Structure 1
Amino acid sequence: MRKTLSIVLIACLILALGLAAGCSKKTEQAAPDKGAPEKQATEKLVVGAIGEPHTAMLKMVKSKLAEQGVEMEIKDFTEYSQLNPALNDKQIDANFFQHIPYLEDFNAKTNSKLVWTVKIHTEPMRIYSEKIDNLDKLADGAIVGIPNDPTNSGRALAVLQSAGLIKLKEGAGVTATERDIIENPKKLEIKMADAATLPRVLQDAAICCINTNYALDAGLDPMKAVFVEPGDSPFANVVVVRPEDKDKDSIVKLGKALQSPEIADFLKTNYPAVVLAF
């Protein structure tokens, strides 16, 4: 009996030691390697854009942001009017396509509170033509195409004034309309059209005031424009977000990446005298 009890006790002791060793081994395997670097948390950032050079610039900084823990998705849009509503509705986290007057006009008309974070570049508006190579050749009563959205139509009218073709009422500003024209010596016929369609309108109009991104998308050569908006334009292109996200880490990193020397060099190389970095 004593012999049997001893055998049972020894067996229990062996089993207990085996279980203890197994638990110790599992614990040892589960312990993290203190020498391994911690994996950086990734933050998703969806940015809306439209046309060049905005999309190209975002693609350039995508890998740099990834190194900083920001996974950026670029969402392409086809119309200006879609981007700010998409931002308001939280379909995207930021957008990069517009200038400050356009943003201010949108906020005023929709009771929105979107804010811009950083100025990136300017894209001087230009006057293009397929019929003349100099504004001195512009005929009386000629058709002139301009964008139909309020801020860009006002901008286009200011460009026509700078070109000496019309004169606006003093203080008309960036939201000028045709009603603000006080002098039109050539009796030009101003026609409004969606900004994206203006390159096609050139087939019928004598001249068109076209935003740089749409001119580039249509394959127009900005260096062959018959007039360029003066350099003191207030139309800086900016990154826009919802107010609560203005100081968000990923948004700050996006702004810094777009203001980098690499982007400035890219603009200078690919769009000389067409897109000007801040």
Structure 2
Amino acid sequence: MATKLHLLSARKVETAAPGFHSDGGNLYLRVRDSHSRAWVFRYKAAGKVREIGLGPTHTRSLAEARLVAESMRKAVAAGGDPADVIRVQPEPEEQTQTFEQCALEMIESKRSGWKNAKHTQQWANTLRDYAFPIFGKKRPADVTLADLKAVLLPIWATKTETAQRVRGRIESVLDYAAVHGLCDGTRNPARWKGTLDKVLPAPRKVTAREHHAAAEYADVPRIMAALADKAHVSAMNLRFTILTGARSGEARGAKPKRSTS
């Protein structure tokens, strides 16, 4: 029977409990009690199980570990020493992932916790439409305040609600990247307090207010007289609302007080 491969997911790599977790094909994730996470290549030689460490998960991604493990399996099959693969292969740089890759990885890791599929799609769409064209190919560590201004300034006053969501989602992606050692978490250029609040006006000051339509003051007596001629509950409810200034939801949901005597 062929050995099953790619048993782990990115989410599993992040959340697996202490112990050994197989990805198939001799590749294992080892999680210690301290919750440090590292890759291990396990194989048999001369009847004994041997292990070769492939580095921590924050240095070598799941995809990279799989590629190394594949080369090591080929070395074993050819009668060679799999350790030679890791000796000659240069260590991957810690910050090779782009902002776009981090964003998509973060969305995928949270997908199971987002019960609304539309919400997941909105995350992907807003980042695709606004952030990725400006700095999607940059490393998270290279994203600057100037990049954020390039994304937000054109829409801050005209699409304020959308702009706030874009800002918050960029902040979340950069925080996610920081947790994985891809940028400095203490200097997130998408953070509002202490950063963007110094260069952008408060949302409430630029959001256009849209008031509900209202009757002219001079027309109120005529409206009240017309309502007085109607006996149904909705008409009486509207009269009550006009006379008291109560919120419409409170007026519609009001219930008679029960006597305690």
Report the TM-score, using the length of structure 1 for normalisation: 0.24
Which structure features the higher share of strand residues? 1
Report the TM-score, using the length of structure 2 for normalisation: 0.25
Structure having greater relative contact order (Cα 8 Å, sep ≥ 6)? 1
Which structure features the higher share of helix residues? 2
